[in-house]
Chains A and B, each alone.
Chain A
Amino acid sequence: GQQVMQIPQYQHVQEGEDFTTYCNSSTTLSNIQWYKQRPGGHPVFLIQLVKSGEVKKQKRLTFQFGEAKKNSSLHITATQTTDVGTYFCAGRFSGAGSYQLTFGKGTKLSVIP
């Protein structure tokens, strides 16, 4: 079936370094959502991207949706220990005839103080 691939699976960074996670699909996505799950917690919605080439910023977080709407990225500038957690992307495949979200397997971020 259709999948959303997310890389890397794990990332360890020194506090203050930047971090990027990527989400890729072989099929066009109508939109993409990003979630963060802290250890022992539940996913929390971060943002939704809908337009081709869209870029949105939330403080140190920058989200991009590719021009072809097949990939997306989340970039964190100057990581802090509060950024620790797993970041998930979730997309809906265009023209799929269904309206469900497919989640990537997530990128687990560790920040070394």
Chain B
Amino acid sequence: KAGVTQTPRYLIKTRGQQVTLSCSPISGHRSVSWYQQTPGQGLQFLFEYFSETQRNKGNFPGRFSGRQFSNSRSEMNVSTLELGDSALYLCASSTGLAFAYEQYFGPGTRLTVT
């Protein structure tokens, strides 16, 4: 079974731009969660989608948004990028809601904002 894939793997953007990251979950998994990982803050939850609906949302500003498609693939968008948005963005998929099921993480997208 193929694992979770994320594209692109690396991205360099300029402050003020916007970016879209993509995540393809493991086949059959209906939940996709997104996390921001930085050395100082660790793993911070962004949001979780299940069957195309946002089920949970972390404490991030409205510049961070996401969506899930009918095939469970998910995208997250960050508008008006700030230097502090530089981080590793991880997505994880699970068969059910993440809090109750094993999550499988993708390799992440390394975003650098200059």
A residues with a Cβ closer than 8 A to B are: 1, 30-31, 33, 35, 41-45, 48, 88, 90, 92, 98-106
Contacts and interface: CB of A to CB of B under 8 A. Distances in A.
Contacts of A41: 107
Given A31-B99, A42-B90, A92-B99, A102 B105 contact: no
Given A42-B107, A43-B90, A45-B104, A103 B43 contact: yes
Contacts of B42: 88, 103-106
Interface residues of B, number: 26
Contacts of B104: 45
15 contacts: A30-B99, A33-B102, A42-B107, A42-B108, A43-B90, A88-B43, A92-B99, A92-B100, A98-B56, A99-B55, A99-B99, A100-B58, A100-B99, A105-B41, A106-B42
Interface of B: 33, 35, 41-45, 48, 55-59, 90, 92, 97-100, 102-108
Contacts of B56: 98-100
A103 B35 CA distance: 10
B102 A43 contact: no
